[in-house]
Amino acid sequence: MILFFLNSSCSNICRNSLTMSESLTEVPMTLSLDNYQVADLSLAPEGTKRIAWAKHHMPIMRSLIERLEKEQPFRGLTIGICLHVEAKTGVWLEALTKGGAKVVITGSPGSTQDETAAALVTDYGVHVFAKRDESFEEHIHYCKAVLQFNPDIISDNGADLHELIFTDPQFEHLQQHIIGATEETTTGANRLREDFKSNKWSTLIINDTMSKRIIENRFGVGSSVVDGIMRATNVMLHGKKVVVVGYGYCGSGTAQRLRGMGAHVTVVEINPLAKLEAHLEGFYTAQLADALPDADMVITITGRDDTLQQQHFELMRDKTIIANAGHFQREINVAALQKMSNKQQQIRPHVTAYDLGNKQLFLLSNANLVNLSAGDGNPIEIMDLGLALQTLSLERIALDAKSLTKTPQPVPYDIELKVAELSCEHWINH
């Protein structure tokens, strides 16, 4: 059942969006005359089933949905979101819409589940702008579509929505309009603090919580990256020489899970403290240039651009598998790899072979986050906790934004404790 209709505000959005698309010369796109854009609405029944499966394993979010539906904290508010459009996110959006919000969302390149995107439109009336195979330019275009709805609150992932509001004159008015925001990732937090010095509203950084860093980044990302690589390649990890570049929360979890699968893991780190920690955990540590020639597989998780570039591809041996699990595809300089290769071939759904003449290199998921692109992302229960943090943070902003200072800041500690308490209740004491 389609639950939302064209209305006057939609017509405005569509007109504006068409103007935007005309200005994008490299990516000709036309937004349809409805206020969503998904790959195929007929996929919705599959998405409904996916969301139902996730919800079954999300007791914390189920209890929040029940409460928010009664209390309606988001009534009258528009929430503009940039977060992976997949089934667990779908359960979160149910909480926000049932809590009274109008929700507009876009995802990230490579991670959108088209079935889920369709179901969110048909089942919850969410304005979804996301397609699995979208390019980065299309992603930015969809972020702009989200901002066309004049959100009162934004929930960001990598600070792309924040960036547009701070740098694109057409969204400058939102600097006075927005009452608060959340930011999901390490990368987004870095950008807000280092690049934008954001101080127009409070942005609660979900990644600043110890529960997100340890439970989601270490345990969740660690296991889902292994899962994504295995699904993409179907190769054995036992005995493989794997180089993990970046030993932060995500990298350390990934290195540990890979070791648990029998891989010989070498860690490359630029921060001496993190490098020391890896050493004391029993990992080999090395400079990138020394580690690459011997590697069967290289995984980047640094949150920084161009972690792997031309000189690194030159050092790799024949048949090296390359993957990224950090936020941006840009951690691996795919353009340089393309330039160096004389032939590229998609040899499995998530594997592209680059022929460099003297060797072949295999890139997974076009350098998008391998756990979300080739797999389903973090395990459901982990995101039950992570999305509960998001939900309670958004509720705090909706009800009491004035109690927060206008800077990027950690999630209030009482929220973190509440979510930990709920997790104990459902994971340990049930």
Contact residues: ligand NAD, CB under 6 A: 185-187, 217, 221, 245-251, 268-271, 274, 301-304, 307, 325-327, 369, 371-372, 377-378
- 326 marked among binding-site residues: yes
- 76 marked among binding-site residues: no
Which CB atom, from 257 or from 327, has the smaller least distance to ligand NAD?
327
Residue ranges of E strands in 219-332: 241-245, 264-268, 284-285, 297-300, 320-324
Closest CA to 262 of 296, 216, 231: 296
Closest CA to 407 of 205, 199, 208: 199
- Quote the CA–CA distance of 6 and 311 in Å, as a whole number: 52
| Residue whose token pair is 């503009």 | 80
- 155 marked among binding-site residues: no
Query: Do the strands 241-245 and 297-300 form a parallel or antiparallel pair, or are they unpaired?
Result: parallel
Would you state the structure tokens that stand for residue 430, as one six-digit string? 């049930």
Three-state SS for 413?
A: helix
Kindly state the smallest distance separating residue 225's Cβ from ligand NAD, in Å: 7
Q: Which residue is nearest to ligand NAD (CB)?
A: 248
- 325 marked among binding-site residues: yes
Kindly state the smallest distance separating residue 83's Cβ from ligand NAD, in Å: 11
Kindly state the smallest distance separating residue 143's Cβ from ligand NAD, in Å: 17
Angle at 44 between CA 39 and CA 49, to 5 degrees: 130
Kindly state the smallest distance separating residue 233's Cβ from ligand NAD, in Å: 17
- 249 marked among binding-site residues: yes
Kindly state the smallest distance separating residue 253's Cβ from ligand NAD, in Å: 8
Which CB atom, from 307 or from 423, has the smaller least distance to ligand NAD?
307
- 250 marked among binding-site residues: yes
Which CB atom, from 107 or from 251, has the smaller least distance to ligand NAD?
251
Question: 110 near 372, Cβ under 8 Å?
Answer: yes
Angle at 215 between CA 371 and CA 350, to 5 degrees: 0
- 90 marked among binding-site residues: no
Kindly state the smallest distance separating residue 199's Cβ from ligand NAD, in Å: 22
Which CB atom, from 122 or from 300, has the smaller least distance to ligand NAD?
300
Q: Which residues touch 241 (CB under 8 Å, ≥6 apart)?
A: 263, 264, 266, 294, 295, 296, 297
- 99 marked among binding-site residues: no
Question: 189 near 208, Cβ under 8 Å?
Answer: yes
Q: In angstroms, what CA-CA distances link 373 with 201, 236, 406?
A: 32, 20, 35
Kindly state the smallest distance separating residue 365's Cβ from ligand NAD, in Å: 11
Which CB atom, from 241 or from 304, has the smaller least distance to ligand NAD?
304
| Residue whose token pair is 């979804």 | 128
- 117 marked among binding-site residues: no
- Quote the CA–CA distance of 185 and 109 in Å, as a whole number: 16
- 186 marked among binding-site residues: yes
Would you state the structure tokens that stand for residue 175, as one six-digit string? 């600097």
Which CB atom, from 49 or from 213, has the smaller least distance to ligand NAD?
213
Which CB atom, from 178 or from 301, has the smaller least distance to ligand NAD?
301
Which CB atom, from 341 or from 371, has the smaller least distance to ligand NAD?
371
Kindly state the smallest distance separating residue 32's Cβ from ligand NAD, in Å: 30
- Quote the CA–CA distance of 15 and 114 in Å, as a whole number: 25
Q: Which residues carry a binding-site annotation for NAD(+)?
A: 185-187, 248-253, 269, 325-327, 371
Binding positions: 185-187, 248-253, 269, 325-327, 371
